[in-house]
Amino acid sequence: MARLDYANARLGARRAQLLGTGALRELLARPSLEARLDLLRRMRLGAALPDGGGADPLAAAEIGLREAWRREAATVLADAEGVRARALLEAFLGIDDAAAAKAILRAVARGLGADRALAAAPPTPGLDEAALRLAAAAATLPEAVGRIDAAAPAIGRALREALPACAPGDLLPLEVAADRAVTDRAREAAAGGDEDGAVLLRHLEDRVDVRNAATLLALADTPPRADAFLPGGRRLREPEFRRLAGAAGEAVRAAIARLFPGVPRAALATPWGADVALERAWIAPLRREARVRPLSIAVPLAYLADRRAEVRRVALLLRGAEIGIAPDELLDLVEA
């Protein structure tokens, strides 16, 4: 295991600046988007947000938040001590390449436009803003896949192979293919038998379980799919997945709540609630690993996961308030 004494010590100071529940409540209490952005600019997370924002200040703020996260990830990567630690961090960050690609494909399939696509795409160093915007401007799914392929060949190859299996309006084969590509890539990077690699491998198992849980929620009350299972998890085995695929929504939610004890069943009733709850389910084990192994790769992984979640929570709060989601419901979603 690489001793990340200095890098991990520096992360302690950064972690202290993560926004807590009080700061999120204070943001939501402001009476307008302009007032929320003004407060956010006084915080470390929003210090680089542009003033004004032009015709769409919310979209400009979301872009600024994603860019701030990319810079933070680059800093953590540069601080990592040793080639092995940097390779594992890069593999971890690369997992979000799939989520970004999926957000683009959904937007193209629904004709939502580049700004909506970018708002839904998580920040990831592997697919920069220009590449995502170009792919989001595609007129068809095959064209979008081709543009993703040009920017991220490993994901693009998997998407091309899955494209013939997509029925009209069905992106699930593409989404599973993207997830399989990034988890396979990260698993290969983590191989080697060392403790830091084992930390990442355990994290990948959690991410696979969460992906399969999300798939089951998407398939609830629909005809079952035989090709939607992502292998490599430890909680949700393939026979159980097959049994639940296409089952009634309440049965699926109950099963997922049993498999993930920290996930309340009520949170799984809405797509945004499930997204936040399942994200917490894979972040919590990383936090435990960081406490148990304070000189390991678990510390920067947990910090990056929490920073990523912070950006997502603030973006959700800003957009949710603008579209009229009730403040109490928003607080339930964003509070860690």
The count of structural domains within the chain is 1
Give the pLDDT band of residue 257 (cuts 50, 70, 90): very high
SS (H, E, C) 192-230: CCCHHHHHHHHHHHHHHHHHHHHHHHHHCCCCCCCCCCC
Residue 13 lies in a domain: yes
Residue 43 lies in a domain: yes
* 120, two tokens: 């839904």
Query: Angle between the 153-162 and 141-151 helix axes, to the nearest 10 degrees?
Result: 150
Predicted TM-score (pTM) above 0.85: yes
Residue 217 lies in a domain: no
On whether the CB atoms of residues 98 and 83 are closer than 8 A, the answer is: no
- Select the more confidently predicted residue: 276 or 55: 276
Give the pLDDT band of residue 210 (cuts 50, 70, 90): very high
* 53, two tokens: 């924002």
Q: Which residue has the tokens 């993703």?
A: 148
Residue 235 lies in a domain: no
Quote the pLDDT of residue 141. 93
Quote the pLDDT of residue 1. 43
* 110, two tokens: 């629904």
Residue 61 lies in a domain: yes
Domain residue limits at 315 = 1-79+297-336
Residue 115 lies in a domain: no
Give the pLDDT band of residue 143 (cuts 50, 70, 90): very high
Q: Residues 6 or more apart from 188 whose CB is under 8 A from it? A: none
Residue 332 lies in a domain: yes
Q: What is the pLDDT of residues 263-295, one digit of tens each?
A: 989 889 888 889 889 999 999 999 999 999 998
323: CATH = 1.10.132.50
Residue 49 DSSP class: P
Residue 316 lies in a domain: yes
On whether the CB atoms of residues 263 and 278 are closer than 8 A, the answer is: yes
Whole-number Å distance between alpha carbons of 235 and 208:
9
| Dihedral angle sign, alpha carbons of residues 183, 185, 191, 195 | negative
Whole-number Å distance between alpha carbons of 267 and 252:
13
Q: What is the pLDDT of residues 73-120, one digit of tens each?
A: 888 888 888 899 999 999 999 999 998 999 899 999 988 877 777 777
